[in-house]
Amino acid sequence: MTLHLYDTETRALREFIPLVPGHASVYLCGATVQGEPHIGHVRSGVAFDVLRRWLLAHEVDVAFVRNVTDIDDKILNKAREAGRPWWEWAATFERSFAWAYDQLGVLPPSVEPRATGHITQMVELIDRLIASGHAYASAGDVYFDVMSFPSYGALSGHKLDDVHQGESAAEGKRDPRDFTLWKAAKPGEPSWPTPWGRGRPGWHLECSAMAETYLGPDFDIHCGGLDLVFPHHENERAQSQAAGDGFSRYWLHNGWVTMGGEKMSKSLGNVLSVPNVLQHVRPQELRYYLGGAHYRSMLEYSDNALQTAAVTYRGIEGFVKRTVERAGEVPLGTWTDGFAAALDDDLGVPKALAELHATVRAGNSALEGGDLESAVEHAGQVRAMLSILGVDPLDPHWAGGSGDTDALEGALGVLVDAELQRRAQAKVDKDWPAADAIRDRLAKAGIDVTDTPNGPEWSVGATRSNDEAGQ
């Protein structure tokens, strides 16, 4: 593997060379558990799960840390509005996020630390910053002195004159560009004892403390959404390096999911929750959709795009399952060289999918021609590629399904088989227009019919249109 990744800080593709050979340390900024996860929230989980799977496939041991922000102004405000304890509110939606990640087949992290479980480490980090002259206390608050860190802005490209932290004004700040490390306690809010008085952590502080706790002062990759570059990741970098840590060596950021050109967010009211979307497509289809674009690109959501991705995936799945039905089994094979080259080039999933679709086409041709050995080989390659993308249809994670889904599939099978029997009779009667009309009707409904030496076979999703839709 010669993996190159786009590093936000250097604004260049860099070969990934881990600090420790054969081991990769990765930190992903996880959820602020203030409400139900929407598909924009889980895109980073899917995108960097592909990175993790690609590293694991090359026998690289991966320490993968994904944090939970369980104390935050938004959490406190929403819990107060709902008349619920803040800790209950946070725990409820932490479970919602865990469920969403699991539904989409995202591998569980090596550890998933909560901010509130690492107050001691945060206090120790603040002590180091104050001792080194990079932070100061004022009336129970503690601030980071931005001007004390010469390379501030290197990650985001922000000029110091343009820095706005997005924090409310505070009398104790020496400079409005300084950011909060520790917030003095307010009546009715949770707080913890510190040398500067009771209070709670600032948002940026928690990730620096947790990353160092689990990955050490220097680690390989820091991931997160593009919206976190500034101020969150800029401030993480500043406070950690000012305290003497090397911190992250590569910074990776995924693009947003947008609607009407705007970032999907609760404040814009254009939210599509994961549970709601999964009423319309299966989890593996949603994952295929979210992971199909390049991770750094913006993904403009539309119902049509989601459904097109779902139908495309069903066509790929149909090829694999038809091959299993014919051959009895399809062992996991090896991905193609073109697929590997695409992923080694900054996780280029779109190019990797083009390679996947070409393999599916070749496999379908082999099936139709009765070359079962070739079909099995191609299906094994397809499985290998899909496993890296997290959507191998034969993976036990996707096995089974709800009773409702099974019942619908059974009903669909009865209806399609009845149509195929009518078509077969029409062909016996040499009523070719009627036979073609039945096939066209099934095609419009997304049912792909393949005539084989053993009779017609069908699957959901027309292979040719699926391939074209996925390219």
CA-CA distance, 466 to 464, in Å (whole number)? Answer: 5
CA-CA distance, 102 to 51, in Å (whole number)? Answer: 17
Provide the pLDDT for residue 269: 63
Range 306-326 average pLDDT = 96
Provide the pLDDT for residue 465: 36
Q: Are residues 17 and 140 in the same domain?
A: yes
Number of domains in the chain: 2
Place of tokens 């397809």: 382
CA-CA distance, 361 to 367, in Å (whole number)? Answer: 10
Provide the pLDDT for residue 403: 40
Q: Is residue 321 part of a domain?
A: yes
Range of the domain at 346: 283-400+420-470
- DSSP-derived 3-state class of residue 411: helix
CA-CA distance, 358 to 382, in Å (whole number)? Answer: 10
Q: Are residues 31 and 158 in the same domain?
A: yes
State pLDDT tens for residues 391-409.
999 999 998 654 444 445 5
Provide the pLDDT for residue 157: 95
State pLDDT tens for residues 5-53.
999 999 999 999 999 999 999 999 999 999 999 999 999 999 999 999 9
CA-CA distance, 307 to 312, in Å (whole number)? Answer: 8
Provide the pLDDT for residue 454: 56
Burial of 348 (0-12, 13-18, 19+ CB in 10 A): middle
Q: Are residues 55 and 95 in the same domain?
A: yes
Range 406-425 average pLDDT = 69
Q: Is residue 379 part of a domain?
A: yes
Poorest-pLDDT segment among 82-96, 228-242, 261-275, 337-351: 261-275
Provide the pLDDT for residue 453: 60
Poorest-pLDDT segment among 149-153, 288-292, 411-415, 434-438: 411-415
Q: Are residues 105 and 181 in the same domain?
A: yes
Q: Is the pLDDT of residue 372 over 50?
A: yes
Place of tokens 């088989």: 417
Which of 208, 234, 254 is the last residue before a domain boundary? 254
Q: Is residue 409 part of a domain?
A: no
Q: Are residues 192 and 338 in the same domain?
A: no
Q: Is residue 263 part of a domain?
A: no
Sign of the CA dihedral with 142 first, then 147, 149, and 151 last:
positive
* Helix (H), strand (E) at residue 249: strand 247-254
Q: Are residues 113 and 159 in the same domain?
A: yes
State pLDDT tens for residues 231-288.
999 999 999 999 999 999 999 999 999 988 888 877 666 679 999 999 999 999 999 9
Of residues 458 and 208, which shows the higher confidence score? 208
Q: Is residue 291 part of a domain?
A: yes
Which of 206, 234, 254 is the last residue before a domain boundary? 254
Provide the pLDDT for residue 456: 78
Q: Amino acid identity of 181? A: L
Provide the pLDDT for residue 399: 82
Q: Is residue 216 part of a domain?
A: yes
Q: Is residue 271 part of a domain?
A: no
Contact criterion met (CB below 8 Å) for 39 and 274: yes
- DSSP-derived 3-state class of residue 276: helix
Q: Is the pLDDT of residue 445 over 50?
A: yes
Output the domain CATH number for residue 209.
Answer: 3.40.50.620
Which of 237, 254, 271 is the last residue before a domain boundary? 254
**How does the average pLDDT of the chain come out, rounded?**
91
Q: Is the pLDDT of residue 210 over 70?
A: yes
Q: Are residues 88 and 167 in the same domain?
A: yes
Q: Are residues 315 and 460 in the same domain?
A: yes
CA-CA distance, 423 to 268, in Å (whole number)? Answer: 51
Q: Are residues 247 and 299 in the same domain?
A: no
* Rg of the chain (C-alpha set): 26
**Which pTM was predicted?**
0.85
Q: Are residues 84 and 232 in the same domain?
A: yes
Q: Are residues 69 and 11 in the same domain?
A: yes
How many residues are recorded in the chain?
471
Provide the pLDDT for residue 270: 65
Provide the pLDDT for residue 404: 46
CA-CA distance, 61 to 361, in Å (whole number)? Answer: 34
Q: Is the pLDDT of residue 467 over 70?
A: no
Q: Is residue 407 part of a domain?
A: no
Range 221-235 average pLDDT = 97
Output the domain CATH number for residue 381.
Answer: 1.10.730
Q: Is the pLDDT of residue 376 over 50?
A: yes
Q: Are residues 250 and 290 in the same domain?
A: no
Q: Is the pLDDT of residue 466 over 50?
A: no
Q: Is the pLDDT of residue 104 over 80?
A: yes
